[in-house]
Chain A
Amino acid sequence: MTLATLRLRGAVRSLAARPRWLLTATALLAGAMYGGYRLVATGVHWLLDYPLIGSIAPAVIQRSLEALFLMLMAAVLFSVLIASIGILYGSDDLELLLGQPVSSARVFTMKTAELFVNAAALPLLFTLPVLVAVGHAMDANVLFYPVSIAATVSLFALPVTFGALLALVLVRVSPAGRVREVATAASIVAAAAAVFGFRLLRPEKLATINALGPQEFEATLAAFTRIEIGWLPPAWATSSSWAALTGELHPSLVALLLTGAAGLTLTGILAHFAYARGWVRSLDSAPAPRMVAPAQPLWERALLSWFGSIGACLVKDGRSFSRDVQQWSQVLVLFALAAVYFVSLAAIPLPNQQARDVIGAVNIGFVGFMLAGVALRMAYPSVSLEGRSYWLSRVNPVRQRDLVAAKFLFILPVMLALGLGLGLAARFVLDLSPILAVAVPLAAASSAVATTGLAVGVGAAHPKFDSTNPNELVMTPGAIGFMTLAIGYAAAVAVLLIRPAWTAIRFPDVSGYWGSGEGLLILASLLLLTVVVTLLPLLHGANRLHAGEH
């Protein structure tokens, strides 16, 4: 039995053990994919049928596909860099695997495949409906489907290969005794750098809107079609898919496949020599420094006396967080993301108030989606991060409700700071009209609270205390279920705020809207929705945790 078969069999069995949950998660995912398909198909049809731009519509679609590939490849690279050290060197099963008479390169290959699933599976799942929609709407040749899927898989394999290579090198060059910490920190700094790198491509050029008239709109789209990124692999994936629409095979497919194969071969060769040694090196820890017994700090005593076991959990989580490079370094990445977001918003040339308000309104949905992605990494695994030490919370007088509440309260300030930061950045940078100046930060803050509650709650309802590394958790059915629900919440908030956004775009000078009956009703609905989406999952998660045997 191969290692991959063994792993696959384990995954299938763990899914089969929870058929009802699997069915729900599959249904939610299928629903989201179908929704994506319908949305893209409608958009493509609209572009193709639009009278003025019919002639350049295919080019616009091609460039949009290219932009999507570029963004998703950047997202995969980002995830890979964050997860690579954890998966390739931090997995608990490595001790067993590398202790067997199995080539270390094989183990590395399996772990790299795991890295691929971890970082690229979700982007792949969300790309598939886009490809099918484009193919269907454009009456594609049957060759389009296998070629575009192969091109996408090869494209996403490139950052995974790069991440694995970087991990191999980092572990070899990091100082002995602190290999894992330094390599993880370096890898995450590289992830932040990748985000800045993507920023240097100046994506706001794609969003330049000179005016809202049809002629100018066409001119903008025409300019968009002339943007060239031919030297980047996303362009290769687009060209090969595009040629396959008419049944042709483009040489860029070969280039993509060859680059991928070359990367994999190089990584395999390096892994053969360096992986097992690197892993052994990563196990060496520096001799523990003799520390002076510190008195219990005042803030710790205060938390304990005010919040009881919730306070005790907060203190313990705070200490673990501040000492675990894999956890605290994610905050650096968040700051990098927020900074990039801020700079990008400021760089978009928007000629008038209407254009600024349109971007502000779009920002409501975008921030919700972004916060969901952050919560998936930071909040969803929080209960599972108790790991094998979870027994301590079970045998001691800790209410599971308190444990879940502590996780929520611990993550909330970070999420709230990020959400409010993004919302307020949009409000001031875009100089939004009065209605949106309230709606945008409010929606961002609500999303921060709700997605944190949803993530912690769903994570508590579906804990995985025996995961070989925390990065595994983001690809579990529970995590997919959370993402689907979080996107649903973001969509619900966007729908709820469509009317005020539309009012703001049409009448930018209107003030006092939020004091009107309609405004108050929308605010109350948003508050109710947020409270329900926050509290119900938390309670459900705590009850499931209490009832479970872990």
Chain B
Amino acid sequence: MLEISNLTKRYGRHTAIDDLTLAARPGEVLALLGPNGAGKTTTIRCAVGLATPNSGYITVAGHDTRRNPLAAKRAIGFVPDRAWFYPKVSARELLRYIAGVRRVSEADAEISQLLERFRIDRYADNLTESYSHGMRQRLAFCAALVGKPGLLITDEPMVGLDVHGHREVKRLFRELAGGGRTVVLTTHTLSVAEEVADRIALVNNGRLIALGTMDELRLQTRRDDANLEDLFIHLTGPDDAATSGEPP
């Protein structure tokens, strides 16, 4: 569903992603993990069209994101870590707008279902400027799922969500994967990744340093009883700030 091949992205002299190759299959939840500045968000930004790679290519559902960006974008739903919406439109109107640009006909029923599922149906006709951060995050999920895209990409999806929201999102990920769709998520909440992800991709300094299921990662690192946090520390090395003795 998502194929990233030899992706390199530079910002001036800084190389954010360095020759990254990665694939997410239909029916799986792939967690993209790594320390701050590892290149996770940049990878996602390249995949959804918010950044342009310097080299390499990305395909979504067989569509090259550079050559056929519209078809690729139709197959992607994206939830950013901090979602902003047009302040003077209501949630329902926003979702209608998205349905319009995605060419989803007769979308009202689907929109109502999404609003209900993410528990913002009571506020669906209020302007989004009155929404709290958590409500915006719920709306971002609704917006990403309009038109039933085959690939859902989420960047820190749990930020701002309450306990109900956490549970709903985890359930959603498994449900989507169960239906043959693909979910790619980045998160610093390792317990979430451990709980919902089929495979874990670990990036550091813009490079892929490990990829596999939890068992495969344990095997690779020869740590049979390690949890994801142990593996993360082992594979990415100690935190520079923590070892340098600098105050936090």
Contact = CB atoms under 8 A, between A and B. Distances in A.
A96 interface: no
Contacts of B90: 291
A373 to B, nearest CB: 25
B49 interface: yes
Contacts of B71: 397
A324 interface: yes
A95 to B, nearest CB: 14
B88 A388 contact: no
A296 B76 contact: no
B101 A319 contact: no
Contacts of B74: 397
Contact of B86 (A320, A396, A549): A320
A291 B50 contact: no
Interface in B101-127: 101-103, 108, 123-127
Nearest to B11: A549
A386 B52 CA distance: 20
Given A288-B126, A395-B76, A396-B98, A389 B108 contact: no
A308 B108 CA distance: 17
Contacts of A395: 48-50, 73, 76, 78
A288 B51 CA distance: 36
Q: Which of A289, A292, A319 counts the most chain B CB atoms within 10 A? A: A319
A319 B88 contact: yes
Given A291-B90, A316-B89, A394 B97 contact: no
Given A395-B50, A397-B70, A323 B88 contact: yes
Contacts of A316: 86, 89, 93-94, 97
Interface string A269-304: 000000000000000010011111111100010001
A315 B102 contact: no
Given A395-B73, A549-B52, A296 B86 contact: no
A331 to B, nearest CB: 16
A189 interface: no
A392 interface: yes
A324 B123 CA distance: 20
A321 to B, nearest CB: 8
Contact of A312 (B51, B73, B101): B101
Given A316-B89, A316-B93, A549-B51, A398 B130 contact: no
B96 interface: yes
Contacts of B125: 290-294
B50 A397 contact: no
A304 B100 contact: yes
Interface of A: 285, 288-296, 300, 304, 308-309, 311-313, 315-316, 319-320, 323-324, 386-389, 391-399, 547, 549-550
Contacts of B69: 397
Nearest to A317: B86
Contact of B50 (A312, A323, A398, A549): A549
B92 interface: yes
Interface in B39-63: 45, 48-52
Contacts of A389: 84-87
Given A285-B130, A293-B124, A394 B49 contact: yes
Contacts of A394: 48-50
B154 to A, nearest CB: 12
B130 A392 contact: no
Contact of A296 (B45, B108, B123, B129): B108
B134 to A, nearest CB: 16
B80 interface: yes
B201 interface: no
Contact of B101 (A294, A309, A549): A309
A123 B80 CA distance: 42
A323 B70 contact: no
B69 to A, nearest CB: 8
Contacts of A550: 50
A388 B129 CA distance: 12
A135 B37 CA distance: 58
B217 interface: no
Contacts of B48: 394-395
Contacts of B101: 308-309, 312-313, 393, 396-398
Contact of A288 (B52, B73, B78, B130): B130
B143 interface: yes
B88 A320 contact: yes
A547 B96 CA distance: 27
A369 to B, nearest CB: 32
Contacts of A293: 92, 124-125
A292 to B, nearest CB: 7
